[in-house]
Structure 1
């Protein structure tokens, strides 16, 4: 749940909710990190937090009971949607069939993994690496020229630049998927709205690096980490 949705549910301004989240994050109370979203109307990037259930409830714990109830109701609504899509057997025969289907699916996955064991192991190692890194460092990890990686990311709609700007921006679906993130490097007032507008850099997450390694098929960079 984003701080923007919390602001909408509670009737508070997003600036105030964002201030509360930053205060808790600074004290180490929130585990979630600040990120950016692209405003659909003006194309500008603004800060927000994407919170799991624990952090969302911690954030609103200081709000009054009515506002807390709205957030809890929203979480229950989201959970109900997930449960509605789960396959639950209604009798013993269905349970056996479901178990058999799962066993067959697991076997197919194991066979596929066995065929691609070296590649899978390399990607798993890469996915478990340290924190997010800049695109240039990601190119080094993948043993690619930075210009080639930037070009691929732009062509495949991972990143883009607004006209007249030299700063790269990550597409929101890539951020939501955990492949890319924005590192906020500063804040300055938006001349139109007066709200804080963020200056930021695009970072590649470990998950994103693993996905790029898979898509770009660069086994040398994966199987020989000592060269990175």
Structure 2
């Protein structure tokens, strides 16, 4: 399926193909895109009506997503599939290039073509580098049961501790309470943190919040999307 389309002057991929690449339901992918648009992480996509060949309504709505925004969406959904997305874009762009070959006898056209290819490759390399810690985690830790502390997660993601701490605060993942960092209740209920209570040697009670494997996988996707947004 060649799902690359020229939308205006921009090559775009459909939300349906993104869903197929990351093995997610199409409606879940569209909800993620809506959330990222509302947070101004990605631009407002074009919407088009497409005939539905399967069960359900005769016509479904699909989003058209540009290359940069597609990396952000996949980083949010399943960063371990970033490499597959890069491969798919390369396949689609090669097919497009066969149809529109620059006039390399024209120095200006040739320079533009080489510049565009360089920028696309740089974007792909950057997305892979940002998603790599998440992919490594999926390979090594998702099946485990171990809990990880803040510094362990920073090391796993290759994140600066101060920047990552501020990111967790801004994203409303945790907050400061009585000198301790405490996750919001919704994240504890979602199984992303395990809070261990105990008593220090001076008799004071304490709470120690640890990331669960599920929580590390989740926050790694958020962190990847945040870093992609900052690099844009």
TM-score above 0.5, yes or no: no
- Larger proportion of strand: 2
Please state which band the TM-score falls in when normalised by the shorter chain.
0.3 to 0.5
TM-score by length of 2: 0.35
